[in-house]
Structure 1
Amino acid sequence: MAAVEHRASKLQFEVDRLNVELKTSEQRRKDIEQEINTAHTRLQEALDIRAQLEEEVLSLTEAVELLQSKLKARRQSLNKRLLGDLNLA
């Protein structure tokens, strides 16, 4: 009978150990899920910021091209006027 009680005690100890391990594993899983959710949120925010920055870069590039075009036209206009003034002189 003592052997049976000893065996039952060992089995109960093993069940208790496995329950503790299970609870620890469940908590780790929850923590990892939270980390994943946080990382996903940060990644989405980064992607949104990237899209905004790409739009800004495109807009600024278009503005620079427009200003360069206007500057070129202005130079040509000034050069024509300058040549006209020189021809009159």
Structure 2
Amino acid sequence: MAKHSRVSWKPEQPINQLHNSVEKATNAVEQAASHPSEQLIEQSEHALERAENGLINTIAHGENPEATHQLQEQLEQDRELLEQLQPIQDET
């Protein structure tokens, strides 16, 4: 059996989880902004909700307040953009 590499196997910290969630939410919102279908807007909403839950968890842990604040600002910007989107109506 192969030995583990020197990569750290420590559990993911809440700030790392939050960063990943915010990145996914931002990508989802950007995709919805490019192609504002009802489905993509809904997926973006769910991604934002997951990231906002992660934000609450990270704040509760009091971990890295500066990074947490920056990620919170990104989520607020994503939320504002998403709220401006209207699904394209199919012309059939």
Establish whether TM, by shorter chain, passes 0.5: no
Kindly indicate whether structure 1 or structure 2 has the higher relative contact order, using CA contacts under 8 Å at least 6 residues apart: 2
Q: Which has the larger radius of gyration?
A: 1
TM-score (normalizing by structure 1)? 0.29
Structure with a larger share of its residues in helix? 1
